[in-house]
């Protein structure tokens, strides 16, 4: 598992220009099988501040189901879901944490 903090958005899209001041963390989960991508994503999200971004790279085909379900649970937002030849990429924005605290 690789975690690295960056001070720039992952995309050049104008839509994400507002995130330039937030931290983007990359999480490489390639090669891991269900349920590890969802579990490691949950753990990484707990360490982030509201507004921070988490880029998750997976190769497990079930992650297209598991990670969006996780994000619905935590109240965070999936900004981008990209399917590439070598895997799936999610860009997740950390929410303010109110739903996660309520779920305890």
Residue 104: exposed, middle, or buried by beta-carbon count in 10 A (0-12, 13-18, 19+)? exposed
* Given 10, 34, 62, 64, the catalytic residue: 34
- CA distance linking residue 46 with residue 54, whole number of Å: 11
58 assigned to active site: no
- 3-state class of 76 per DSSP? coil
Residue numbers annotated as active site: 34
């Amino acid at each position: 598992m690789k975690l690295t903090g960056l001070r720039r958005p992952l995309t050049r899209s104008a839509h994400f220009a507002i995130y330039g001041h937030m931290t983007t963390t990359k999480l490489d989960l390639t090669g891991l099988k269900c349920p590890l991508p969802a579990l490691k994503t949950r753990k990484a999200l707990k360490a982030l501040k509201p507004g921070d971004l988490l880029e998750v790279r997976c190769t497990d085909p079930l992650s297209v189901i598991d990670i969006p379900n996780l994000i619905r649970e935590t109240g965070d937002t999936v900004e981008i879901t990209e399917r590439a030849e070598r895997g799936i990429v999610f860009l997740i924005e950390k929410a303010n944490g109110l739903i996660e605290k309520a779920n305890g």
